[in-house]
Chain A
Amino acid sequence: MSVTLLEIDNLSVDYETARGDLKALRNISFDVNKGEIVGIVGESGCGKSTLISAILRLIAPNTRFRSGEVRFKGEDLLTRSESEMRGLRGGDISIVFQDPMQTHNPVIAIGKQMTDIQHRSNATKAEKLATAAKMLGAVGIPDPELRLGQYPHEFSGGMRQRIAIAMALMSEPDLLIADEPTTALDATLEVQIIERLKDLQRDLGCAVLFISHHLGVIAELCDRVVVMYAGAVVESGTVREIFHNPKHPYTRRLIECDPGHIKERARILPTIPGEVPDLANLPDGCIFRDRCDQAMDRCAQVPPLARLSEGHNAACWLNHAEEVA
């Protein structure tokens, strides 16, 4: 009985544009196991959104799947029909989006939206409303029965995000995708929501794919981490390994530059110099080469995502020192 829930296997996705193909994802591979919380870390443009849309197949018209598979419970989602995917969305795979202010339909009451998404269930309307109320209570909304009749604009941002989480978990999915769910919220709210999410995940036992650029939250919440940069996976491993023993210069710099990590006062905050490469005009060799302070000649070749130890992979020539001919 396999423990692997989601396998991204060598996935490459392009966007066809007038300027040429945007190579948004290149040979992405990683796994998510049952009940596991996997974090995805990366700047804007790293491919997170493309990855999510690939999994759920909510794609723009100019998306092209060049290679690879997205296996969920052993079956490649990319070969499934649209109606099969619709069956999965909001059922076995759920998602919480980043912006709580725009994520709900503004003219339909929350209760109605929460019963609509239970369209797979055969329960009566009253039962569906009861489930919705129960879920709202579980995420910490007071007076849930009353609130069901209200509209999104009558809730604060933090509460709307709780509602979004409630909606996502109502069907008890196998996999919850959380796309930067706390980025739009302030720090105190973020802590509350993350705590709530942890509790719920423990109760439901679902796997979580948690996308964020907030390293503190990743460290707090996740079991494993995947570091992405400009459409490629540069490192992946357990939280402990990644944070205590990063094996890729990008990961190292990310950790160093994280405001939560800075121990001493400095006049100038550290950043990573340079810019994210243009996905339509990729440089040769290692994707991080132009911004890396440890670049070598060998970096003119794309380094493979090599397995360094059990569950720790990194794509950097620095880890292959002993192989230099």
Chain B
Amino acid sequence: MLQFTLKRFALAALILVVAVTVMFLMIRAVPGDPVSIMLGPRATPELKARLISEMGLDRSIPEQLMLYFGGLLRGDLGVDVFSGREVTTIVFEQLPHTLRLIFSAILWSAVLGIGLGCYAAAHPNTWIDRVAATLSVSFIAAPAFVVALLSLLLFAVHLQWFPAIGVGDGFWDTAWHLVLPSFAIGLSWVGYIARLVRASMLEVMGESHIRTARAFGLSERRIIGIYALRIAILPVVTVIGVGMGFLLSSAVFTEIVFARPGLGKLVIDSITTRNYPIVMGAVLVSTALFVISTAIADLINAILDPRARSGT
């Protein structure tokens, strides 16, 4: 297990290194003066000079790359062109808002999705199952930001059941403000997870070892809830880990729609104001988040599934 963990994190680190390199090259690949590109047109001459010496823009590309990595390992993502504050500080200030949104969305959609999926698998091909299947596909198809906009229009602006903007103050107010945004993000996930669990459960229920469990008179509850679900849930764990990437994307839009603070708002505002170091910093942090979450998902998978530990 330890070996598996180490290998997995080594792989994650490798991917991050390549990702950072790709980002670095992307910035360099854009035609024009790299300093202006990185700092945008608003940078002062002092800032430009500092950047040139820090990043060694007067040196060769491989040397620049090394300097960049050096800075990253120190936690230095650069400096905001306007306020002069560290990008790292700014990004990590906004990160918790986005994380809260994402986790609340995963929580409700996973619980509901797993429940619906199990129910559908236990009653296959009934009309409930078919309706649920159609709804699942529909939820998966509808893009999160459109759902966000339409629910903003209906529930916040028109019916005024929920607040339209902001994050709220205090536990219950915050939770109330979270309802619509997390609904918008989580809706497609309910469909996705329900379908996955249903298919996974049906596949597992058809396998020989379930027949064996029945042949020994185990109760249906034990068979479905433990013997089958333990296996059927594995793809869901992986999917959620991989889904962090999509969740981050959905969160970006949802934060804009509901005027919530977070990485999304940060990045969009920074693009508009040409505050490129923040854009790059935020993109790197969210990529790192994604890579780590997939690694963690794989680890959880290995904990739940002993067979996975022996493979790569």
Contacts and interface: CB of A to CB of B under 8 A. Distances in A.
B216 A167 contact: yes
Nearest to B213: A105
B100 interface: no
Interface in A45-96: 56, 58, 86-91, 94-95
A90 B306 contact: no
A58 B218 contact: no
A180 interface: no
B208, B226, B227 — most chain A CB neighbours (10 Å): B208
B53 interface: no
A106 B212 CA distance: 12
A119 B217 contact: yes
Contacts, number: 70
A90 B216 CA distance: 4
B283 to A, nearest CB: 38
B217 A86 contact: yes
B173 interface: no
B305 A107 contact: yes
Given A108-B230, A153-B310, A103 B222 contact: no
Nearest to B207: A102
B107 interface: no
Contacts of A43: none
A270 to B, nearest CB: 34
B214 A116 contact: no
Contacts of A103: 208-209, 212
A138 interface: no
Interface in A105-148: 105-108, 116-117, 119-120
B161 to A, nearest CB: 44
B231 interface: yes
Interface in B134-168: none
B50 interface: no
A117 B230 contact: no
Interface residues of A, number: 27
Contacts of B208: 97, 99, 102-103
A58 B211 contact: yes
Interface string B82-109: 0000000000000000000000000000
A117 B209 CA distance: 13
Interface string B196-208: 0000000000011
B307 interface: yes
Given A99-B208, A106-B231, A89 B304 contact: no
A151 interface: yes
- Determine the main DSSP class of A at the interface with B: loop
Nearest to B304: A107
A104 B216 CA distance: 12
Of residues A104, A106, A120, which shows the largest number of chain B Cβ atoms within 10 Å of its Cβ?
A106
Nearest to B125: A61
Given A97-B208, A107-B230, A151 B307 contact: yes
Contacts of B209: 102-106
Contacts of A91: 217
Nearest to B214: A58
Contact of B218 (A106, A117, A151): A117
B305 A56 contact: no
A116 B222 contact: yes
Contacts of B222: 116
B219 to A, nearest CB: 7
B215 interface: yes
Contacts of B306: 106-107, 151, 153
B216 A117 contact: yes
A56 B215 contact: yes
B91 to A, nearest CB: 39
A153 B212 contact: no
Nearest to A89: B217
B58 to A, nearest CB: 58
A104 B219 CA distance: 16
Given A97-B208, A97-B212, A103-B209, A88 B217 contact: yes
Contacts of B207: 102
A58 B215 contact: yes
A150 B110 CA distance: 31
Given A153-B306, A153-B310, A104 B217 contact: no
A199 to B, nearest CB: 23
Interface string A289-309: 000000000000000000000
Interface in A164-184: 164, 167
A97 B305 CA distance: 24
A89 B211 CA distance: 11
A87 B310 contact: no
A151 B305 CA distance: 10
A97 B304 CA distance: 26
Contacts of A99: 208
A153 B308 CA distance: 11
8 contacts: A58-B211, A94-B215, A95-B215, A103-B208, A106-B231, A116-B218, A119-B217, A151-B307
Across the A-B interface, give the 4 residue pairs with the lowest CB-CB distance, nearest first.
A90-B216, A102-B208, A89-B217, A117-B216
Given A90-B216, A120-B217, 16 more contacts: A58-B211, A58-B215, A89-B214, A90-B217, A97-B208, A97-B215, A103-B209, A105-B231, A106-B305, A108-B226, A108-B230, A116-B216, A116-B222, A117-B217, A117-B218, A151-B307
